[in-house]
Amino acid sequence: MADPLRPLSFATLLQRFFAEHLTRHRSVSPRTVAAYRDTFRLLLLFAERRISKAPAAIALDDLDAPLVLAFLDHLEAERGNGARTRNARLTAIRSFLGYAAHHDLSALPAIQRTLAIPTKRFDRPMLGFLSRNDMQAVLNAPDARSWVGQRDRALLTTMYNTGARVSEIIGIRVGDLILDGAPCVHLHGKGRKQRTIPLWRGTATLLRAWMRRLDGPGTANGPLFPNRDGRAMTRSNVTQRLALWVQTAAVHQPHLLGRRISPHTIRHTTAMHLLQSGVDITVIALWLGHESPSTTHLYVEADLEMKERALGHLQPPNVTVPRYRPPDALMRFLQSL
């Protein structure tokens, strides 16, 4: 029988962290579990080389700040990971240590020093997005007379309409699409979060035509955008199809050839066009599934046209702004009230 006063081993804590804490208690998504799993596989292999201990023999005290810092440096220097990946790995380690701190008080000082490791700051690149003409050219590029072309036109139009992440797009099932009444689609987002996005009339028309062409449309759990084998498209499938249609659209929009356009570019484009149309930034945050509107503020920073309009309202300090004078007696009366 286990001694209730004896701290659990590192191996036991890690297994319970994945089997109970993440899966049962927090109900995190399979993608999060996979990302955390990969972090600890890399960390344990690194620790084995660094301190000459097999993963099963590692103690919680071994995961001290110097070891974790050396691991993070290893990720950048030897594996070529950027600051985003480094920070994501650190987040996984912090999550486990926060859990372990409740089960082994003797390791608390070492855990606190490791938890104090800061995330690394990095430069955010300027967001790339397409103009309305460029976006329309890409949407028109697929030949809807073929099965693949019709699927791709419906796929790209849905991506633009919803601003969905590529993982959300390939995760749409037939049963997630509502075309009766007010057309909409249910998206399954990050962290098991779901949201419903209304569909434009043109998008709904394309999807109705695609549903008639789709093999086995009665299967609610089937993918809305399958590959030729009937399985859901992959990220690489979507990226390759988009690249093909960008090349086709470049016949009429040659400047597209010199740009890197990914599925995430379409998401940025949706957000930017909503913003330029006067949609409130908090609504855009809900549309995109952002946890905080602060993330959406990046689109305001990237929109040069909005900045130019704001500049037009701002007079240089050395320019005398003429005082407003009512044009006639009635206006002067109203102004005096």
Q: Is 94 labeled as catalytic in the residue annotation? A: no
Contact (Cβ atoms closer than 8 angstroms) between residue 174 and residue 181: no
Rounded to an integer, what distance in angstroms lies between the CA atom of residue 62 and that of residue 70? 13
Q: Is 297 labeled as catalytic in the residue annotation? A: no
Catalytic residue among 21, 151, 153, 290: 290
Contact (Cβ atoms closer than 8 angstroms) between residue 8 and residue 103: yes
**Exposed, middle or buried by CB within 10 Å (0-12, 13-18, 19+), for 280?**
exposed
With b meaning 16 or more CB within 10 Å and e meaning fewer, what string describes 141-179? bbebeeeeebbbbbbbbbbbbbbbbbbbbbbbebebbee
Closest CA relative to residue 71, chosen from 46, 98, 36: 46
Question: Tell me, what amino acid is at 293?
Answer: P
Rounded to an integer, what distance in angstroms lies between the CA atom of residue 315 and that of residue 58? 65
Q: What is the largest CA-CA distance in the chain?
A: 96
Q: Is 290 labeled as catalytic in the residue annotation? A: yes
Identify each DSSP E strand in the chain by its residue range.
177-178, 184-188, 194-198
Rounded to an integer, what distance in angstroms lies between the CA atom of residue 148 and that of residue 161? 20
Q: Is 299 labeled as catalytic in the residue annotation? A: yes
Q: Is 120 labeled as catalytic in the residue annotation? A: no
**Exposed, middle or buried by CB within 10 Å (0-12, 13-18, 19+), for 240?**
exposed
Catalytic residue among 21, 151, 267, 273: 267
Rounded to an integer, what distance in angstroms lies between the CA atom of residue 198 and that of residue 45? 47
Q: Is 190 labeled as catalytic in the residue annotation? A: yes
Catalytic residue among 21, 153, 165, 268: 165
Phi (first) and psi of residue 187, to 5 degrees: -105, 140
With b meaning 16 or more CB within 10 Å and e meaning fewer, what string describes 24-39? eeeebbeebeebbeeb
Query: What are the residues facing 198 on neighbouring strands?
Result: 184
Active-site annotation, residues: 165, 190, 264, 267, 290, 299
